[in-house]
Amino acid sequence: MKIIPRLVLLLTAAVLLCPAALRLQAQPVLNWDKTIGGNSWEELNGLLAVPDGIIAAGSSRSGASFGKPGDQSWNFLLTKLDFNGNILWTRMYGGDLDDRLWAIIPTSDGGFLAGGYAYSGVSGDKSQPSRGDMDVWILKLDGNGLLLWERAYGGLYRDELFDMLELPGGGYLLGCNSWSDVWMDKSEPSRGLQDFWIIRTDAQGNKLWDKTIGGTDYDQLNDLEWTADGNVYASGGTVSDGSTGELGPEPTRGGMDFWLGKIDPGTGNLLWDHRYGGSGEDYAYALHVSQFSNRIFLGGRSGSMPAPAGPFNNGKSTPFYGGDSDYWLLELDPDGNKLGEYGFGGGGLDDLYAVQENPLGQLVLGGVSDSDISGNKTSASHGGFDYWLVGLDDAGNALWQKNIGGAANDALTKMAFRPDGSYVIGGHSESGIGFEKTEQNFGVNDFWVLSFACDLAVQITGSGPSSPCTQDTVLLDATIPGCATCIYTWNTGVMENILSAPSNTAGVYSVVVQDEFGCLAFDTVQVFPPPPPAVELGADTLIGQGRFLTIGPDPGPGYQYIWSTGDTTSSITVTASGVYTLTLTDPGGCTAVGSIQVGIVRKGAVWTPNVFSPNFDGYNDYFSIYTDESVRQVLTLQVADRWGSLCFRRDRFLPNFEPGGWDGVCRGDPAPPGVYSWFAEIEYLDGSREVLEGSVTILR
């Protein structure tokens, strides 16, 4: 039977399974936390889960701790961790004034694009002069965080970047905000106080065009996401009046409202926009487009009491739980129409900064909270501000809540999911060791990154028939003991823990197992139909007469044997020449035939020396008869000199026994050198006899 290499599993002696994937892990439990910082102040505003680790990025004023002695201004700070929380590298970039990172994205070449703002002119890592007050600044980095190039864009006043997208075919779309009129890189006048500012660049960061979008007041862009039709969603907040600038007719509802727009990435034109809010201040920090349903989730902070909806989905229907603000999450269709809304909060400040979707399609919300148990908040506060996580079911109900932090102030700003459903969260922390924080702080405020692991694992086991002729199926079992809520999905579409697969067809079968937390486990096996039986009796052979040979395979129990001799045993003993045929039938009914031809050798091989030297030095001292195993005995051996006088005779002795042969003595004296004649008769194992004769020479 053929064995397939690489960890093959044998099913009932025949069906072969090849595991093709290592197990991934699952149920969310806190695995480790890491504090990253210097002697002063760090704020984390970017977090990526990349295939070989975690990127934590933000801003730092601890220049002396990161290779910039004497620099107390803000600089970009980036750190890469492995999946165990070990720091692989740290990079700091900036000029001589304040430069802050607000966003980082992975790029298709394996590197990164980081962006934010820069006050610096030409200094440090900044090669371009300041345009005015504050510029948009982006840095292209390789996979090790090393700087490849950097670009600045701006007008006369404040311009800063908050999000970016890499464009198909190369280039970038930059989501920015601007107070500037036409000046330097700003090609259109300001619409009000602050406007949305969209910049399109090529792959090297050269500006191709820019677009200003806004109303008569203050507009703040925070996030960019791709739409299903290849356009771009932009989100943030606005206090501008409707029907001013590029904004649609929807009116403001209170102070600042959530704002969502759809933008053509080829032109920067605003295709439509909507706003959502109550009577107070509402600001959207997080935009997420579902990978499962095309739904849009727009989340942030809300300080508004409920307000009736006006035209175009305005308004707020969720209760306000008191304090400064609550988490407020909107569920929208691809056109921005409201499908639902959800509020979570207590009696303090609760600001939602991150919305992510686990592999089950369930949402996890993360942000900052100083509320104790109150409102619909059921997890207790640790100290000042804490990270606050809320997991939702498909209906928007809280499945679980968790406060994470130390005894001081800790603020979650970003969240990222890994492929197995575990997630990483990050923000900044003033706390020392305590509660979930296991490392002392370095300065005033540090990056704080936490990784949640999953402990779900699956391994497919199988059982099935040992023959391709049976109609039975292979049973592939992916059951995870103790996981009553696990959901099993096979690549065939079957959603059961056990899959029945045909045994007579090769196939690859994969299963994805999900638990109630959204953690995943994977396994893949390859099923090979067992080969039909093959009868291997060996090559045709010869045996000596009187000897025997046992032939026959032994593939295992359940097989039937029919020999041409009439025997039905798995093997037979052969003593006669002929062709021996076996018909073999396996347990599934497959039949195979094999045969072997056996010949009997009646005469064996006989050897005698033609020269010997009987000087008794231990070499060639005797003349005797040497044979193969077909000879039973030497009946007689006789030696005569050249005149025919007998010198030696010995009867009935075994061949190959030198002392049984002639020792070179003739009639009591050593025979002189010369040629002597010999005569012998041997008996074979089958009783037949043969007479042999020849001559031998003595050397002395």
Residue-wise pLDDT for 403-419, tens only, equals 999 999 999 999 998 87
Beta-bridge mates of residue 122: none
Quote the CA–CA distance of 190 and 240 in Å, as a whole number. 13
3 pLDDT more than 70: no
Per-residue pLDDT, 394: 82
Quote the CA–CA distance of 526 and 518 in Å, as a whole number. 26
Per-residue pLDDT, 311: 63
Q: What are phi and psi of 375, to 5 degrees?
A: 55, -130
Nearest one of 67, 76, 88 to 44, comparing CA atoms: 76
446 pLDDT more than 60: yes
The two structure tokens encoding residue 461: 């086991």
Q: In whole angstroms, how far apart are CA 685 and each of 541, 599, 633, 651, 657?
A: 19, 16, 8, 17, 17
Per-residue pLDDT, 674: 92
Per-residue pLDDT, 23: 30
Q: In this structure, are residues 478 and 21 in contact, taking their beta carbons and an 8 Å threshold? A: no
Quote the CA–CA distance of 451 and 30 in Å, as a whole number. 6
691 pLDDT more than 80: yes
Query: Using the 8-state DSSP alphabet, how is residue 529 labeled?
Result: P
Q: In this structure, are residues 433 and 407 in contact, taking their beta carbons and an 8 Å threshold? A: no
Task: Tell me the average pLDDT across 129-154.
Answer: 97
16 pLDDT more than 70: no
Q: In whole angstroms, how far apart are CA 29 and each of 26, 363, 404, 513?
A: 9, 17, 12, 18
Per-residue pLDDT, 617: 85
422 pLDDT more than 70: yes
Burial code of 31-70, b = ≥16 C-beta within 10 A, e = fewer?
A: bbbbbbbbebbbbbbbbbbeeebbbbbbbbbbbebbebee
Give the three-class secondary structure for 3.
Answer: coil
- Tens digits of per-residue pLDDT, 171-184? 999 999 999 999 99
The order of strands in the sheet holding 99-106 is 99-106, 112-118, 135-141, 147-153
282 pLDDT more than 70: yes
Q: What are phi and psi of 63, to 5 degrees?
A: -55, -40
Specify the DSSP element, H or E, that contains 30. strand 29-36
Quote the CA–CA distance of 308 and 315 in Å, as a whole number. 5
Quote the CA–CA distance of 267 and 173 in Å, as a whole number. 11
Per-residue pLDDT, 24: 31
What sign for the dihedral angle of Cα 210, 213, 219, 223? negative
- Tens digits of per-residue pLDDT, 104-114? 999 999 999 99
Q: Strands 689-698, 611-612: parallel, antiparallel or unpaired by DSSP?
A: parallel
Nearest one of 7, 119, 101 to 56, comparing CA atoms: 101
- Tens digits of per-residue pLDDT, 597-631? 988 766 667 889 999 999 888 888 899 999 887 78
Helix residue ranges, H only, 1-60: none
661 pLDDT more than 60: yes
2 pLDDT more than 70: no
* pLDDT top residue among 270 and 569: 270
Query: Using the 8-state DSSP alphabet, how is residue 41 labeled?
Result: B
Q: Strands 112-118, 669-670: parallel, antiparallel or unpaired by DSSP?
A: unpaired
Quote the CA–CA distance of 554 and 541 in Å, as a whole number. 20
Domains of the chain by start residue, with CATH: 9-23+457-528 (2.60.40), 541-601 (2.60.40.10), 606-698 (2.60.40.1220)
Name every residue whose Cβ is closer than 8 Å to that of residue 485 and which is 6 or more positions away in sequence: 515, 516
Q: What Rg value do the Cα atoms of the chain yield, rounded?
A: 44
Whole-number average pLDDT of the chain: 89
Per-residue pLDDT, 602: 60
Quote the CA–CA distance of 154 and 141 in Å, as a whole number. 21
Centre a 10 Å sphere on the Cβ of residue 675 and count the other Cβ atoms it contains: 12
684 pLDDT more than 50: yes
Q: In this structure, are residues 250 and 312 in contact, taking their beta carbons and an 8 Å threshold? A: yes
The two structure tokens encoding residue 78: 């980036």
Terminal-to-terminal C-alpha distance of the chain: 63
Task: Tell me the average pLDDT across 529-537.
Answer: 80
The two structure tokens encoding residue 295: 């739904």
239 pLDDT more than 50: yes
Mean pLDDT lowest among 171-175, 276-280, 451-455:
451-455
Task: Tell me the average pLDDT across 379-405.
Answer: 92
Per-residue pLDDT, 467: 65
Burial of 212 by CB count in 10 Å (0-12 exposed, 13-18 middle, 19+ buried)? buried
- Tens digits of per-residue pLDDT, 346-363? 999 999 999 998 877 789
Q: What is the pTM of this model?
A: 0.70
Per-residue pLDDT, 313: 59
Report the percent of the chain where pLDDT is more than 70. Answer: 93
587 pLDDT more than 80: no
444 pLDDT more than 60: yes
Quote the CA–CA distance of 289 and 331 in Å, as a whole number. 10
Q: In this structure, are residues 343 and 352 in contact, taking their beta carbons and an 8 Å threshold? A: no
Task: Tell me the average pLDDT across 2-27.
Answer: 32
- Tens digits of per-residue pLDDT, 305-325? 998 877 655 789 999 998 999
Per-residue pLDDT, 546: 63
The two structure tokens encoding residue 71: 């620099």
DSSP secondary structure, 305-343, as one string: PPB---GGG-SB-SPP-SSSBEEEEEEE-TTS-EEEEEE
The two structure tokens encoding residue 301: 């902070």
Give the three-class secondary structure for 616.
Answer: coil
pLDDT band at 60 (very low <50, low <70, confident <90, very high): very high
Quote the CA–CA distance of 478 and 137 in Å, as a whole number. 51
